[in-house]
Amino acid sequence: MPESRVPAALAEPSPVAAGRHRAGRLAATMLGLALLAAGAAACSSGGGSGDQKSGSTAAAAPTGITVPDKIGFLKKEAEDAKFGTPDDGIPASVRKNLHSVNYADPADNLHHYVLVEGGPGLPITTDGSSDVIQRLLSEWMMSANRPKAAKVSPGSAGGTAECAPEYSGKDRFDCGWVNGKVALVMSFTGFTLDETKAQLPKILAAMVTS
């Protein structure tokens, strides 16, 4: 099961060895929180729309995230009780709407995993690339080979999505999605790029609420 970027103080439900994404998480989180207000404003008042010119799909503005028990053949395996840690600086009003949940395919001996994290107000730095997904991945998906990221259709959820291969090996892809104030990162294990592109809009359609 893919690693959560939630700090080690929390229970770790995944059987995969720890450390896949965790390096640099705290530093990135603190940077993102320092810029939380600016990042949220950029996503909601024009900065986000400028970032989403390419690959965007018209849809109702999302308001939050739901966590269904199943998404197609993927079954919910575990969800962290809390996102982050009490000392990471994320306000309680934001943290309560953030999720970190694992989905797996039990029919395939649990070889297919997807870790989904984020929600309304997920901090995104305003520094760096003009591409909001690049900034999102740089902050929350340290394992993503961002220069190789490609646009992916977000489907009915709208917004902008991109996926990048992981540095750690084949059949592992990190994806980011942003629409307005809501953002998610997704880590796919055991999926080809084509399979990842096919699953991402289905996950968004099942999880994003408007």
What residue segments make up the domains of the chain, in order of their start?
25-209
Those residues whose C-beta lies under 8 Å from the C-beta of residue 28, and which sit 6 or more positions away, are 125, 138, 139, 140, 142
From the list 2, 209, 193, the residue with the least C-alpha distance to 101 is 2
45: number of CA atoms within 13 Å, CB side?
6
Residue 30 has which token pair?
């603190």
d(CA 163, CA 34): 26
List b or e across 80-119, with b for residues whose CB sees 16 or more CB atoms inside 10 angstroms: bebbbbeebbbeeebbebbbbbbbbbeeeeeebbbbbbbb
d(CA 129, CA 133): 9
Residue 42 has which token pair?
């950029």
From the list 69, 68, 118, 62, the residue with the least C-alpha distance to 95 is 118
pLDDT for the residue numbered 170: 83
pTM for this prediction: 0.73
Question: For the CA atoms of 194, 179, 56, 60, what is the dihedral angle to 10 degrees?
Answer: 110
pLDDT for the residue numbered 81: 74
User: Quick one: DSSP state of residue 126?
Assistant: S
pLDDT 10s digit of each residue in the chain, 210 long? 444 443 333 333 343 333 344 333 433 443 344 333 334 434 433 333 334 444 444 567 899 999 999 999 999 998 887 776 667 678 888 988 999 999 999 888 778 999 999 999 999 989 888 999 999 999 899 899 999 999 999 999 999 999 999 998 789 999 999 999 999 999 999 999 999 999 999 999 999 998
